[in-house]
Structure 1
Amino acid sequence: MSVAEDGTADFGFERVSLAEKQGRVDDVFRSVAKRYDLMNDLMSGGLHRAWKSHLIGMLRPGRNRPFRHLDVAGGTGDIAFRVLGAGGPDTEVTVLDINEAMLRVGQERAETQRAGTRFGGRIEFVTGNAEALPLPRNMFDAYTIAFGIRNVPRIELALQEAFRVLKPGGRFLCLEFSRVDLPVLEKIYDAYSFHVIPRLGARVAGDKESYQYLVESIRKFPSPGRFAAMIEEAGFSRVTHRVLSGGIVAIHSGWKVA
């Protein structure tokens, strides 16, 4: 998903202004917020749970020391609750999302968790833009973004902001859809993506167009190699990526060395 010199960006297969892209992305997630996690289960056949578990396994939040974590574009709290569950009693998570409808879903889930005294006050929800985080520099031990960065109009700014708010020695992890690298699987995946997912979105979430956009946005996202180069350009070191499920998704990792 690239930004041209004329101030336009990809919105699925369309080319729109930056302002229009952000507004339309907001509309997509406002529409699907209440059914977002359910749709993830249905669209992936539950595989997204395994992918997220892999992400948390790579993160390994500290169990015996303070650990401050930032999850961006994670409004429903799905990643945040996993981090809290894997970490120790001094693990704290800030969930940041630009979309308040998504954040409300996460806040409702957090209230349920708090009622059971599971996580106490160790999670907070912040409205903010990944391109200009309303947070101080050198604040977090780790930063995650799962299935969100392809919706950011200016990815390079989001990566620079991730670098800024991480402490020296902090880790960046991104879970995102990628390029299927098995020819037979690619054909099946394309047919499923373009013909089944939008219809599923229409039936379950009442919104075919939003899921059509989400499918198209995957195809416009940079290749794993190109995205790794973008992460390096933002200042990160020891950048690597792992492809999962035949390339359906990839997890990119980078470290803030200094």
Structure 2
Amino acid sequence: MSTHHDGDKPLDTTFGRQSVSTDERRQRIRDVFNHIASRYDLMNDLMSFGIHRLWKRRFVAGLPDQGLFVDLAGGTGDVAALLARKPARRVVVVDPSIPMMREGGTRADAAAVRWIAGEAERLPFADGSVQALTVSFGLRNTTRLDAALAEAARVLAPGGTFACLEFSRPMKWLRVFYDPYSFHVIPRLGAWVAANPAAYQYLIESIRNFPDQQRFAAMIEAAGFSAVRWKNLSFGIAAIHLGTKPAAA
């Protein structure tokens, strides 16, 4: 089972097997994504056999049709581009990695999206100003998951939607196949395509350190969200978690 993390501690204080401070971990994570930015989308396709694109289409389905959308840890903007297909949405990518966003800025559909450098724990938006906050495969890279969830709750308007797509805990029968693939094959793909096996070793370890479906749902509720629920994708390899900021009293 995934380990439980106390709310007053960072989600993870290790990088690989080496204990590091929160600030150092933040910088190392940023260095990972800066280094692999140009090959990040290609690696996602190879690692998931393209399935991540189907997950992301399902992720954006059913979200509100209009308003300000913040795609947190939006990277190269593939989810933001899907969100921006509805013209009544104003979509902003927030990501700490300038190279990742610069890579996304080369996309043909990048003009429909705003790009802002920022971190999940300190979002550059006013209280109650955002209709929906989405984050896909990025929340596990925050230094304090509880602080990131609190920030999401702060910036969302009453009735606003929190939506997270993240790797999660696969069903038991699937782990026999999935664990060897993720621990051994993915770092080798990282070495081959991105010339950075250590980066992908970190990414796999960050998946293993992230709370499972039930525990993450409990953390979302603890941050003040209501109607919290999740949907497993591909037998739990990934999951969509949803929550609503309660209406003002």
TM-score, length of structure 2 as denominator length: 0.92
5+ residue gaps, structure 2: none
Question: Corresponding residue for 1:17?
Answer: 21
Question: How many angstroms apart in 1 are the aligned matches of 2:224 and 2:194?
Answer: 39
In structure 2, the CA distance between the partners of 1:142 and 1:161, relative to structure 1 (3 Å rule), is same
Measured after TM superposition, the shift of residue 243 of structure 1 is 1.1
Distance 2:7 2:28 in 1: 18
* Percent identical residues: 49
Which residue of the other structure, out of 38, 45, 56, is the alignment partner of 1:41? 45
Question: TM-score, length-normalised on structure 1?
Answer: 0.89
Q: 1:29 aligns with which of 33, 46, 58?
A: 33
**Which of 118, 130, 155 is the equivalent residue of 1:128?**
118
1:177 to 167, 174, 178: 167
Alpha-carbon distance between aligned partners in 1 of 2:195 and 2:116, rounded to the nearest angstrom: 28
SS in structure 1 at match of 2:40: helix
Shift of 1:16: 2.0
What does 1:90-239 correspond to in 2, within 5 Å? 90-109=88-107, 112-113=108-109, 122-183=112-173, 185-239=174-228
State whether residues 94 and 125 of structure 1, in contact with CA within 8 Å, keep that contact through their aligned partners in structure 2: yes
- 1:9-68 CA-partner distances (Å, limit 9, x unpaired): 233454321011101101110111111111000000011011101101132x41xxx421
Alpha-carbon distance in structure 1 between the residues aligned to 2:8 and 2:225 = 25
Measured after TM superposition, the shift of residue 257 of structure 1 is 1.3
CA shift digits 1:109-158 (9 cap, x unpaired)? 2xx336xxxxx5x4210000110111111111100000000010100000
Counterpart secondary structure, 2:128: coil
Q: Is the 2:167–2:238 Cα contact (8 Å) retained in structure 1? A: yes
The count of residues paired between Structure 1 and Structure 2 equals: 243
* Distance in 2 separating the partners of 1:254 and 1:136: 20
Equivalent residue for 1:67?
67
- RMSD across aligned positions (CA): 1.8
User: Does the Cα contact within 8 Å between 2:71 and 2:79 map onto a contact in 1?
Assistant: yes
In 1, are the aligned partners of 2:69 and 2:90 still within 8 Å (CA)?
yes
One-letter amino acid matched to 2:119:
N
Contact 1:150 1:218 in 2 (8 A): yes
Q: 1:225 to 1:6 in 2, by over 3 A?
A: closer
Specify the alignment match of 1:253 in structure 2: 242
Amino acid at match of 1:163: A
Do structure 1's residue 55 and structure 2's residue 59 form an aligned pair?
Answer: yes
